[in-house]
Structure 1
Amino acid sequence: MKSALRALALSLALGYAHGAPASPDDRRVTEIASELRCLVCQNESIAASRADLAVDLRGQIRQQLDAGRTEAEILAYMEARYGDFILYRPRLKAATLLLWFGPAALLAAGLAALALTLRRRRARRDRPALTPQQRQAANALLGIEAEKGSGS
């Protein structure tokens, strides 16, 4: 009996050591915060960041959830307050066209430049060498005498 109680106490202690399970509200805050970029860190979401601003923004998200706002309303509020940059996936509009299509345009331009360079290289390689008459004329212009013993 004592060993069963000890095992139960140990399992409870280990369970609390890992932290209490997240409440549904905590999960919703984390889900919404993972959609928003930390304005301090810029490469982390608000959910992952430990910056003071990120902590404050998570608190604002929690307050807005408690006030009954939906995820879309919270994201719209954050976007209106902090701009498109706060969203990891900004909406498609005129101001964000470069964000959405810029990488594809750069890739296309790079591939076009590569194709043009390869085509020019191939054209230079396929160009015929000088004929013996052209070589002789060039040597004469440069003042180079023909090598002795050559069949030209």
Structure 2
Amino acid sequence: MDPGGRVGGGQPDPYKTAVIDTIVAQVQNIPGEDRCVLLLGYKDHMESMMNHCNPGLARRFRLSDAFHFEDFNDEELRKILDLKLKKQGIGATDEAKHVAVKILARERDRPNFGNAGAVENLISRAKEGEHKRRSQNGISNFDPNVVFFAPGL
């Protein structure tokens, strides 16, 4: 489905259309109502949705009033990495963390970078790689020190 709510670029997705129509119907300028609706997404997807969905959506959520959040910098990504590793009980060397941040910095230059989600994905890939290595080598005990590996870095 594309951001405009179309499946395969053809027919509109009836579920997405119903959700958008419901949001438009519920978000009115009625005095005394205390309602907050946040629409979050990548800029190009949001613009496409606003331009191709219910026209009432664009009137109620003007893109000119939108907040734009910058991606996290390397230092912030390192802090997120440290927090996520600690929460999952995983250790990594400083060198591994340095490589992880380099990988994330490269990913940040691509469209639709996921910030903290990208950190989580990187950790998942590292855990999968560790599991494969252990399976291939017949090692059954778990070592929480996952190694981040990036060819060419």
TM-score class, shorter: under 0.3
TM-score (norm 1): 0.26
Highest CA radius of gyration, 1 or 2? 1
Higher relative contact order (CA 8 A, sep 6+): 2
TM-score (norm 2): 0.26
